[in-house]
Amino acid sequence: MAFSMALATGLFFVSLVAAQSNTPFCDSASGICFQGYTDPELDITIGLVLPDPPTDEFIVQMVAPATYGYTGLSVGGTMADSLLFTLWPNGDDIVLGTRWTSGYVLPEVYTGPQITLLPGSGVNSTYIQATFRCQNCTTWTDGSLGSGDQGGFQLIAYVAQTTTPPDDPADVGSTIIEHNDFDFFGMNLTQAQSTQYSSYVAGGSASTTSAPTTTSLPSSTPAPPSSTSSASGATQTEWGQCGGQGWTGPTTCAAGLTCVGVSPPYYSQCQA
């Protein structure tokens, strides 16, 4: 089965939503303040926080509509050679897995990362939410967070299969069909570092990717970060999109910035 981020629908999305980058938000269920992004169309929120100074771990929050078949996350920005996370509901349980693939094929379960679910993880009538600590997660086969610089830049990609659930939702390694939507945002990893990190991980309950846990969700809503957009004809600001298939916005970067193909041929971005 072929998996690809080169779907026409996905490219359309990338061209519509320009210059997405991280903004801060705090989650009252876990007390954790993240850097991340809420996609207004897909209704997906992704948050990330790193220790300061960085180690081999981070905390992730993924929130998506409970009706989605699955939601995926790449902390390497691409599908191939990245640490991937898959999230879907199994009744009232969440099923969270780590996967990896070297190409655009069905990613397989990837062992090594140690997952600990944190407060606020679960499924309610509208959303599925996973807040989790991921240890041994900053390097993986053929890649690493920030390409080895955890104070640098990382493109974060998220995907959704909005209609079709996994073949066996009870199995974290279930066959899943290709996602039907995806998008990206840019993360300044320096801004994601937090001196509060050790207090954030103090309250976690141990879990594994193969043993989903049941938790009830609080009725708190993460404050949606705002996104910025750019108009055609202007020069693009730092981290803004400046190229890629289907891109109709600015292709010139502001003074001092260079247009870099961060996920060629789909996405190029202005970087210093």
Ligand X SMILES: *[C@@H]1O[C@H](CO)[C@@H](O)[C@H](O)[C@H]1NC(C)=O
**Residue 248 token pair:** 């109709």
179 CB-side CA count, 13 A: 26
Helix extents (H) in 214-272: none
CB of 178 to ligand X, least distance (A): 24
Tell me the residue number closest to ligand X, measured at CB: 112
Identity of the residue, 136 or 258, whose beta carbon is nearer to ligand X in the bound complex: 136
Distance CA(157)–CA(71), nearest Å, equals 11
- Decide whether 67 or 221 has the Cβ nearer to ligand X: 221
Residue 81 beta carbon to ligand X: minimum distance, rounded to whole angstroms: 12
Q: How far is the CB of 248 from ligand X (least distance, A)?
A: 25
Output the smallest distance, CB 2 to ligand X, in A. Answer: 25
Of 108 and 168, which has the nearer Cβ to ligand X? 108
Instruction: Please say which residue, 112 or 246, places its beta carbon nearer to ligand X.
Output: 112
Nearer to ligand X by Cβ, of 5 and 130: the residue is 130
Q: How far apart are CA 233 and CA 188, in angstroms?
A: 26
Alpha carbon 241 to its chain centroid, in Å, reads 18
Work out the number of other CB atoms within 10 angstroms of the CB of residue 59: 25
Q: How far is the CB of 246 from ligand X (least distance, A)?
A: 26
Query: Footprint of ligand X on this chain (CB under 6 A)?
Result: 63, 112, 124-127, 129, 136, 140, 188, 190-191, 217, 219, 221, 238, 272
What DSSP string describes 195-212?
TTHHHHSTT-EE-BTTB-
Can you name the residues that pair with 122 across neighbouring β-strands?
129
